[in-house]
């Protein structure tokens, strides 16, 4: 009877239909309710009953195996779909794109301005005076670079009397200077700097005066102009340094004469204050004092006051008053010089 039972079990297993493949778009059908396993038969049960029970258990096992095979095939199909699509790139962060789009354009690397002043008189007296000033400034997170240059030239002829010999014109202004400065920012308010320059003034019998300086600067406040809130510009900066200069002297007027050279060296204090009086009018004061402690005691002081009126964004008209004082000038020269000027400044 055993071969007949095995043949019957094999026939039932082959007749069990395979589970249909699940559709990708539709949710998987609920799992079929499994039939409980048949109860165990006693040992004295007829052989036919035992064969039928064994065939039923074999059919139940085949059904469970078919369900497991269907679930495995579904998992393999989903894995193949994911692999075929490849990795999905994350979408770009909108905040980063918005920040990049809203970033303002970088300003010019250098702020350059040029000023020119001209005085011309003709007729009974003849006078021509030309002066110019140029400056350039560049700021980075750690460094500040600045360049300044100036010069002046003037000739004048005394009034003439009809019938007398014409008077000769004389040079009344001949000076120039250039200065380079580099600041290293330690914080936004405190910096250390090196400065080098040279100047000349033939009227004051100074052929050349090269100098060098090292010191520290403090930015006390720097308020930017804001038209929306009505805030005016306000800046205050001070310098404290040690300067050394070699003054090469030569008398050009009225007669040419060689003079002895002089050394200068000592502490220097400087200050710059700028304030916006209104939207288009700015007041600026630059002052410095140098106390020389090398050889003979000597004090040099200078002050330049300016009021500028903006005609356009790049053009300004100004008036300035300059005072220079020297406690020990070259022989035959007065200690104080003043100059009143009207100038036109162009920002490039």
Q: Number of folded domains in the chain?
A: 2
Query: Taking a C-beta distance cutoff of 8 angstroms, is the pair 184, 142 a contact?
Result: yes
Report whether pLDDT(239) > 90.
yes
* Residue among 334, 333, 337 at smallest CA distance from 249: 333
Is residue 298 located within the same domain as residue 219? yes
pLDDT of residue 89: 55
Of the pLDDT bands very low, low, confident and very high (cuts 50, 70, 90), residue 123 is confident
177 in the same domain as 77: no
Residue where the block lists tokens 């997170």: 141
* 102 assigned to some structural domain: no
**Rounded-to-integer distance, Cα 321 and Cα 285, Å:** 10
Mark whether 14 and 79 lie in a shared domain. Answer: yes
- Distance, C-alpha 236 to centroid of its chain: 21
Query: Above 50 in pLDDT, residue 221?
Result: yes
Q: Residue 105 — very low, low, confident or very high, per pLDDT cuts 50/70/90?
A: very low
> Is the pLDDT at 236 greater than 80, yes or no?
yes
Structural domain of residue 131, as residue ranges? 107-347
Task: Examine the pLDDT at 172 and tell me if it is beyond 70.
Answer: yes
Specify the pLDDT at position 237. Answer: 96
- Same domain flag for 340 and 225: yes
Q: Do the domain assignments include residue 262?
A: yes
- Cα torsion at 120, 121, 126, 128 (round to 10°)? -10
* Distance separating alpha carbons of residues 10 and 55, to the nearest angstrom: 8
Element of type H or E holding 9? helix 2-14
**In which band, very low, low, confident or very high, does the pLDDT at 4 lie, cut at 50, 70 and 90?**
very low
pTM of the model: 0.66
Whether 184 is in a domain gets the answer: yes
Quick: pLDDT tens for 305-320: 999 999 998 899 999 9
Which of the given ranges, 6-15, 126-135, 239-248, has the highest pLDDT on average? 239-248
Q: So what's the pLDDT on residue 120?
A: 85
pLDDT of residue 43: 56
The answer to whether residues 129 and 182 belong to one domain is yes
In a domain, 202, yes or no: yes
Judge whether residue 205 has pLDDT over 60.
Answer: yes
100 belongs to a structural domain: no
Tokens of 276: 């916006």
Q: Are 65 and 148 found together in one domain?
A: no
pLDDT tens for each residue of 43-72: 555 666 777 777 777 777 777 877 877 787
- For residue 28, being part of any structural domain is answered with no
| 183 close to 191: Cβ distance less than 8 angstroms | yes
Pairing between β-strand 336-347 and β-strand 315-326 as defined by DSSP bridges:
antiparallel
Per-residue model confidence (pLDDT) at position 88 = 55
Residues 165 and 268 reside in one and the same domain: yes
> Of all residues in the chain, what percent carry a pLDDT higher than 70?
76
CATH number for the domain harbouring residue 166: 2.40.160.40
Q: Are residues 215 and 325 in the same domain?
A: yes
269 and 146 in one domain?
yes
Say whether pLDDT at 293 is over 90. Answer: yes
Alpha-carbon distance 163 to 169, whole Å? 18
Q: Please state, rounded to an integer, the average pLDDT across all residues of the chain.
A: 81
Query: Residues near 77 by Cβ (< 8 Å), separated by ≥ 6?
Result: 24
In a shared domain, residues 59 and 135: no
Q: Which residues pair with 235 in a beta bridge?
A: 222, 274
With respect to residue 92, please indicate whether it lies within any of the assigned structural domains: no
Instruction: Let me know if residue 35 belongs to a domain.
Output: no
What pLDDT is recorded for position 12?
45
Report angle CA 130, 131, 137 to the nearest 5 degrees: 155
Please name the residues in contact with 125: beta carbons below 8 A apart, sequence gap of 6 or more. 156, 157, 158, 159
pLDDT digits (tens, 9 = 90+) for 181-199: 999 999 989 999 999 999 9
9 and 135 part of one domain: no
Q: Are residues 151 and 59 in the same domain?
A: no
């Amino acid at each position: 009877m055993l071969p007949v039972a095995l043949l019957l079990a094999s026939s039932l297993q082959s007749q069990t239909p395979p589970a249909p493949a699940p559709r990708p778009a539709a949710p998987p059908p609920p799992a079929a309710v499994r039939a409980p396993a048949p109860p165990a038969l006693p040992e004295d049960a007829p052989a036919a009953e035992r064969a039928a029970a064994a065939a039923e258990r074999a059919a139940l096992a085949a059904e469970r195996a078919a369900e497991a095979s269907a679930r495995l095939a579904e998992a393999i199909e989903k894995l193949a779909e994911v692999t075929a699509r490849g990795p999905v790139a994350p979408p770009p962060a909108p905040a980063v794109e918005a920040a990049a789009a809203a970033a303002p354009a970088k300003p010019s690397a250098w702020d350059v301005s040029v000023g020119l002043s001209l005085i011309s008189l003709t007729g009974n007296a003849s006078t021509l005076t030309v002066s110019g000033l140029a400056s350039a400034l560049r700021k980075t997170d750690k460094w500040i670079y600045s360049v300044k240059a100036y010069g002046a030239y003037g000739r004048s002829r005394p009034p003439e009397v009809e019938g007398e010999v014409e008077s000769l014109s004389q040079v009344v202004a001949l000076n120039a200077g250039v200065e380079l400065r580099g600041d290293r920012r330690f914080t936004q308010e405190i910096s250390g700097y090196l400065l080098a320059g040279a100047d000349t003034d033939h009227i004051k019998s100074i052929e050349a005066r090269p100098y060098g300086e090292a010191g520290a600067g403090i930015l006390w406040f720097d308020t930017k102009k804001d038209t929306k809130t009505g805030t005016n510009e306000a800046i205050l900066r001070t310098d404290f340094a040690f300067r050394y200069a070699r003054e090469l002297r030569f008398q050009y007027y009225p007669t040419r004469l060689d003079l002895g050279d002089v050394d200068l060296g000592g502490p220097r204090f400087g200050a710059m204050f700028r304030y916006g009086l209104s939207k288009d009018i700015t007041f600026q004061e630059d002052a410095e004092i140098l106390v020389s402690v090398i050889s003979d005691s000597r004090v040099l002081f200078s002050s330049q006051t300016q009021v500028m009126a903006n005609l356009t964004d790049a053009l300004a008209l100004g008036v300035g008053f300059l005072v220079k004082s020297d406690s020990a000038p070259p022989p035959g020269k007065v200690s104080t010089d003043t100059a009143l000027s009207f100038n036109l400044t162009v920002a490039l």
